[in-house]
Chains A and B, each alone.
Chain A
Amino acid sequence: MENLYIAATPSSPEVNFDFAQHQLSIRGESYPENAAAFYGDIIKRLREYLASCNNICINVDIGLAYFNSSSTKMLFNIFEAFKTAVDAGNEVVLNWHHYEEDDTIFEFGQELHVDFPEITFVDRPVKAA
């Protein structure tokens, strides 16, 4: 399966889905004018990949400093897809990266943890240099 790479722009994150290595990452900020259009294909590709996984440990890195509410909706669709993959017998480890003092992103991660207990959630606070 071909890997998916989308370079970051000021309003959309870098998406680096290395399906071969089962390493998926989304980093940057997310407030594209049309979130559904930006994430539509990404989610489609992700679902195809997840459907092909069987007893696999998938490592996910998410480091988003900002995401607007329509992106939040899309992120939830991504987490739903992970949940389905876990239910199908895979393991998903979600590394939630944020600056240590960024309470807002930290709290969002905590809520994710509660909402998606199937996903192995790892809080990854980053100490500012």
Chain B
Amino acid sequence: MLALEISPHLPADCRPRSQQPTAEDLCIQTPSVTAEDSNETVMEIFSKYRDLTSLPVIEDGIPIGLINRGIFLSQMSKPFRKEVYSRKSSIAFMDKEPLVVEADMDIESLTFKAVEYGEKALADGFIITRGGRFAGVGHGLQLMRVVADMQAARNRQIMQSIEYASVIQRSMLRTSRDTMLHTLEDADLVWEPRDLVGGDFYYFVARSDGWFGAVADCTGHGVPGAFMTLIASSCLAQAIDQHGPADPALLLGSVNCGIKQMLGQVGGQDETPESDDGMDAACFWYDIATRRLIFAGAKTSLFVLHPGGDGVEMVDGDRKCVGYVDSELDFTWQKRAVQMQAGSLVFVTTDGLVDQVGGPKSIAFGKRRIRDLILANRDRPSSEINRAVQQAISEWQGPNHRRDDVTFFCFRVQEAQRTNQAS
């Protein structure tokens, strides 16, 4: 048998983190034979090493084949084979074309290669060489293990990154949520990103004479959606600083310009900008003294139910999105004033709730079901109305997966608004 030059093998977890695993990590030192060795020797080796599934055959340090235990033993157990082949060369039952890979081959290439090579490479294993010289054998199961570990590690890395992003996004929303909870006596807001972070956001500001609220749905979901919420909410914050919170239509116009400028959607007509992103939004200002709700909507509607009212009224916004290439820079959204009464209910949602696919025919949840739910729960606090909506959408969704981020907000106009609002 040849003396093999094998460098000390490092287990995977000793390697520097930055280095991607290669075939080297799968390399197992194993007994080998040469073509001069007889089948008798092969038999001895297989008897000695019970776990050995395949035995490499080496010629001057170069691998020339792989003997599979099962095939070898079944061949040798046939009548007279032992007598005929025992003294003959080990190459008699050898596979002359095993998969041979270099030690520095990355795991992904190796996996594709092994799969392409077929079952043999996964069952018998494959030969690993260094500079063409025999280094050891790799096994299919071990390859699977390394691939699964790599997959898990990549996934973990992405998930940790998104979890961290989620902390940032939630922190951004916390001030608004606190403002809402402190300002409104009977109000509730559900914010459910589809994947940890999302493209929906909300914004609340309280003043002594009223309060401003916004529920918005930016393009996309996940990470790109979350990027958009940062852009859109900082545009909105700036607009409020500049114009005050009492004119939601003006604010939508201002956010429209802000998004378009920030994403380079203005200018050259002929050159298509890379970003065609924006948002749908409902913005409203509640004036305490007059109990009027001033609403401006970009592809978003308000559901309003007055005490004693027969049904839920829809107050539709404009059918024009904020941002996006085809929204004009100077577009003016309509301001709609809705006279509220003590006890009036207002519900607003992003399209994630309306469009969620489910039910017996896998169709959208739709607005009608929302109206029915509001009606059926009209005497309950807004938090309970929202719980009912949450339960209904979850039942509707059933085994379907969530298609989009979902945000909805419900509040009831109070008899006499609290006067101790933030100044």
Could you tell me which A residues sit within 8 Å of B by CB distance?
A: 29, 31, 33, 36, 65-66, 68-70, 73, 76, 98-99, 101-105, 111, 128
Q: Are A66 and B366 in contact (CB under 8 A)?
A: no
In the complex, what distance in Å separates the CA atom of A129 from the CA atom of B104? 59
B-chain residues with CB within 8 Å of residue A36 when the two chains form the complex:
276
CB distance from B227 to the nearest CB of A (A): 14
A-side contacts of B220, CB under 8 Å: 68-70
- The listed residue (A29, A66, A69, A111) touching B219 by CB distance below 8 A is A69
Main SS class of interface, A: mixed
Chain A residues, Cβ within 8 Å of B221: 68
Cβ–Cβ contact B355 & A66, under 8 A: yes
Question: Residue B368 at the A interface, CB < 8 A?
Answer: yes
Among A73, A98, A111, point to the contact of B324 (Cβ < 8 A).
Answer: A73
* CB–CB B361/A66 < 8 A: no
Complex CA distance for A111 and B299, rounded to whole angstroms = 12
Q: Mark B206-240, 1 if CB is under 8 A from A, else 0.
A: 00000000000101111000000000000000000
Q: What 10 A-B pairs are tightest by C-beta distance, nearest first?
A: A104-B364, A102-B363, A103-B366, A66-B357, A104-B366, A99-B363, A128-B361, A99-B361, A70-B219, A66-B403
Among residues of B, the one whose C-beta sits closest to the C-beta of A67 is B355
Evaluate contact between A69 and B217: CB separation under 8 angstroms. Answer: yes
Evaluate whether A104 and B276 lie within 8 angstroms (CB atoms) in the complex, with A68-B404, A70-B220, A99-B361 already known: no
Check if A73 sits within 8 Å of B276, measured CB to CB. Answer: yes
Chain B 372-404, CB-CB to A under 8 Å as 1, else 0, gives: 000000000000000000000000000000011
Task: Return chain A residues, CB-CB under 8 Å to B326.
Answer: 76
Cβ of B351 within 8 Å of any chain A Cβ, yes or no, is yes
| B96 contacts A by Cβ under 8 Å | no
- Chain A residues with CB under 8 A of B365: 104
